[in-house]
Amino acid sequence: MTKYSTLRINVANPSAARSRVMIIYTGGTFGMAYDSAGTLIPFNFSNIGEHLPTLRNLFLDLTVVSFDQPVDSSNIGPLHWQALGQIIYENYELFDGFVVLHGTDTMAFTASALSFMLQGLSKPVIFTGAQLPITEPRSDARENLVTSLEIASARTNGVAMVPEVCIFFDYQLWRGNRARKKESMHFDAFESGNYPPLARAGVKLDFNSAAIRSPLPGEKLRLLSKFDPAVSILKLFPGINRQAVEAILSTDGLRGLVLETFGSGNAPTDPWLVDLLQGAIRRGILILNVSQCPGGMVIQGRYETSKQLAEIGVTGGADMTTEAALTKLMVLLGEFGPEKTKRLISVPLAGELTG
């Protein structure tokens, strides 16, 4: 069970605050600082005002929830996603928005998972982080956090401007389940090949209203928190052999597979590959076809090399990212089981695919 502590940050008079925002710190580069020995250790958020005096100018009532043991994003998994979902769900009525500080390596997986977990969401949940720790002179952490807080608190006529799970990085706001990490050495860490940015931060915040999802009137937040981790990814490559594919498909208890194919959903037509995939489907394994390309979409049957996949029962994943496909399978299988998952996997649940 993930343990966490809560800290109230006195950066604004609560009576004068224009909005209440919760910051959830999970770990990652953002919140690291050097100790006297030169070792990176978790940052003490009670001192954040010293590093970010600008926070006082936002006129926000801020509360920080911090994991007691900060987690490198390489170690993040479903248990942490469940903790995040529960924290947001339990505090949903108390805050106008949420900012999640998270390591960049698996941020797109976590943002995708939360987008499926938080059904009926009508408030912003903004993921951000940094490529350099906040204590570094050239850190991108300050701008990312300040702007994420502005977005999380942005409202018009009492309605949130961006009622979605998003990722903000390097002046751009992406839909969380459409983004993926593309860069480890520069500040523009994320991209979204199949969906435009929801906002750009320049002299002012420029929201792309046409691209932002609107919640259904009167819909209440529902938390889907059950995960089935019995899923895997099979990435096809030229020269892939039977033994490699068999090793994945014979995984004990496997229930779902994300098949990363070429181009618009194409795969080698070797009979042994088709037979193995068909055999897995007959055993009840749901296979979801997504493209290895950062942009474009799967159209099974467009070429002869994908026609057989459709014929044996592989499900086309349209323009879903691998991160969205994997986490969606986990949530649907965990909550509803295989039969309902087959019906819902191709249905847009949080703007993750073009329906």
Which residues are part of the catalytic machinery? 29
Residue type, 305: T
Give the bridge partners for 25, in sequence order.
66, 101
CB-hemisphere CA count at 13 Å for 137?
0
Cα 124–126–130 angle (5° rounding)?
Answer: 165
Residues 90, 28, 197, 173, Cα dihedral to 10°: 60
Q: Which of 175, 232, 164 is nearest to 198 (CA)?
A: 175
Check: CB of residue 166 under 8 Å from CB of residue 198. yes
> Pairing between strand 172-175 and 180-181?
unpaired
> Pairing between strand 97-101 and 19-25?
parallel
Query: CA-CA distance, 294 to 278, in Å (whole number)?
Result: 27
Q: Is 36 helix (H, G, I), strand (E, B) or coil?
A: coil
